[in-house]
Amino acid sequence: MIVANLPRRGHGTTFGEADHQGVVLYWRPGCRFCMRLRFRLRFTPLEYREINIWRDPEAAAFVRSVADGNETVPTVTVAGAAMVNPSVQQLIGAVRASAPQLPPRAKDAEDPS
């Protein structure tokens, strides 16, 4: 699972550049819940972007605003609606309910997962 704690090529973004109408995963290094969710998302067709809250103060402030003042991660937004520490099933359900227009990600040539 250590691999899941590394930045994912092609998935990283900043709060200012993120598509807030899509799926955005807020995480931080060393968080085992983040590692678990990020690892499991590799096996889904879901297109998403990741933001390391320790590198993006604006993202950290957003997470605090939806997590009762705490930097609780993983926090995920689906079309702008926030979920704190969701399961993959909850996340996929939220996409189906709130953002069915979101396309599945294309298999990247450099990302064999």
> What dihedral do alpha carbons 73, 40, 10, 95 form, nearest 10°?
-80
pTM of the entire predicted model = 0.82
Query: Where residue 16 falls among pLDDT bands split at 50, 70, 90?
Result: confident
Whether the per-residue pLDDT at 2 is higher than 80: the answer is: no
Query: Does 3 reside within a domain?
Result: no
Per the structure, how many domains does the chain have? 1
103 occurs within a structural domain: no
Let me know if residue 81 belongs to a domain.
Answer: yes
Residue 57 belongs to domain spanning = 12-97
Q: How many CA atoms are closer than 13 Å to the CA of 68, on its beta-carbon side?
A: 2
The reply to whether 105 falls in a domain is no
CATH code, domain with 42:
3.40.30.10
Q: State residue 38's pLDDT score.
A: 93
Residue 1 domain-assigned?
no
pLDDT reported for residue 108: 41
